[in-house]
Amino acid sequence: MSSVVNWNPREVSIWLEKKGHSKYSQQLTEEHCIDGRALLLINETDLKSPPISINILGDIKRLMLDIRQLKVENRQTLLQLGFDPISLLTKPVCGSQVYGTQFRPDPFNYYDDIHMNHGSDVTTASSHSSEFEEDRRLKPEIWKTLIAMGYLFTVTWITAFVMVIVHDRVPDMKKYPPLPDIFLDNVPYIPWAFHMCELTGTVLCFVWLTVLVFHKHRFILLRRFFALSGTVFLLRCITMIITSLSVPGTHLECTPRKKPAFLDDGNFIGDMVYKMQQAYVIWRGAGMSIQGVRTCGDYMFSGHTVALTMLNFFITEYTPRDIYLLHTFSWLMNMFGIFFILSGHEHYSIDVFIAFYITSRLFLYYHTLANNQALSNNVDSCRTRIWFPLFSFFESSCCCMVPNEYESIIEIAENLACSTYNKYLVIKSAIKTQIFLLRSLPSNQKTQIGSSTLVGTSTIGSRTPIILHKKKR
């Protein structure tokens, strides 16, 4: 059969008979001329109400279930033809509100005009549509973002501690000279190259922060950035500590740090405290040489390449597709940063290659899963929970592609003002409720409450349990 949007009433009749709805075939296709497009726009209200007026609830539910399944099965076909699977209107590639992002709706896309149908009143939308309307907003879930930030914070501390360990285990340069490397053996050492790499990373970081400030879904972006960065650097900790490679350049001064004299007697606690102090120095300087941090042994794989690549991919993913100069600039910064790493002879070529490959693949896998969660079945969901538990947790309520929507400075200020005002109203309402409840109590109970709990209380939060307790009575 042809595409569902091109079905004529006869093809719709064949589909209805195939799905076991033959008794409604004549009514829908011959009496009401339901073709493919009209079939996809039918909702439960249409089936229950005149002129169709199906009176058997089970038949209504089964027919609607098959129609919804038909929408899911033909999602990609509708998108390729340029149709919105919900409204069946032709959507432009770049909308006026979603700048630079290709429109990729699906039956569970919360940004589609879900109430648009063939002439029916939006106020008579079905219960199914109202359920979608309730969840159509992408929730920021700030608490998940804070958890992701804590995850990255913990991983950075682990990374700094592992870097202290591998620095003390670095092979002796006289016994283990640099390994053969095609790039390092043919490109001369440039002393200032590694500093330039870190400067390019700083520029990309400022660009990414600017995107975050103006992006409407900044907390989702932050959550994904923290989760992906933490996961890659945690993997880097494992690869660093498993195998210690020889120093890639003879210019590097890589000798184990001299411990204080009081640690030579096998003082385990003192040794751990000393290593934590060294790890704090690395963590405070973000592992950057321009911050005075110099470590060796952390070669497999390159952390600087991870940072550059991650920033580049997030900038290009969450900025308008038609800003070609920004995307070209971001990729150039990424490539030049990698070139500067190798020119400074700070890493082997394999370190940089593996870092770029792992970071880019993990970014693409994560976003592919996130953008297609609505199409995954139970088996896929189970596998995702087992192999990607962090993804399942952080993306549990985000079942569609995050659109590139932006807010102006005025809109950001208005949102902050509204949020502050709403909190003020909540606090004001709580205070009024307390005063009303206290006034409605008998004088003996009021005196008892005042002497036992209210005296010396300075916060509204501490008075809330009293109100709830009185309400239960």
Angle between helices 218-242 and 303-317 (to 10 degrees): 160
Contact yes or no for 60/52 (Cβ under 8 A): no
Rounded CA gap, 155 and 158, in Å?
5
The CA distance from 242 to 48, in Å, is 66
Distance CA 199, CA 333 (A): 10
What are the tokens at 233? 């650097």
| Catalytic hit among 167, 181, 351, 367 | 351
Place of tokens 């995850």: 151
DSSP per-residue codes, 423-454 = HHHHHHHHHHHHHHHHHHS-HHHHHHHIIIII
CA distance 63 to 218: 40
Q: What is the number of other CB atoms lying within 10 angstroms of the CB of residue 471?
A: 9
118 a catalytic residue = no
Three-class secondary structure of residue 178 per DSSP: coil
**195 catalytic per annotation:** no
Active-site residue 304, yes or no? yes
| Cα of 72 vs its chain's centroid, Å | 24
Give the largest CA-CA distance in the chain.
96
Tokens describing residue 445: 């109970």
Number of helices followed by number of strands (H, E) in the chain:
20, 0
Q: Are 248 and 346 in contact (CB under 8 A)?
A: yes
CA distance linking residue 240 with residue 276, whole number of Å = 18
Give how far Cα 182 sits from Cα of 248, 335, 343, 350, Å: 12, 18, 12, 10
Tokens of 450: 């005042």
DSSP string, 62-122: HHHHHHHHHHHHTHHHHHHTTB-TTT-PBPPSS-SSSTT------TT-TTS-TT--SS--G
- Scan for tokens 């064949």, then name that residue: 14
- Catalytic one of 167, 217, 304, 367: 304
Tell me which of 115, 215, 217, 347 is the catalytic residue. 347
Q: What Cα–Cα distance (Å) separates residue 191 from each residue in 107, 194, 197, 246, 306? A: 56, 7, 12, 20, 22
List of residues 6+ apart from 162 with CB closer than 8 A: 237, 240, 241, 298
Active site residues: 304, 347, 351
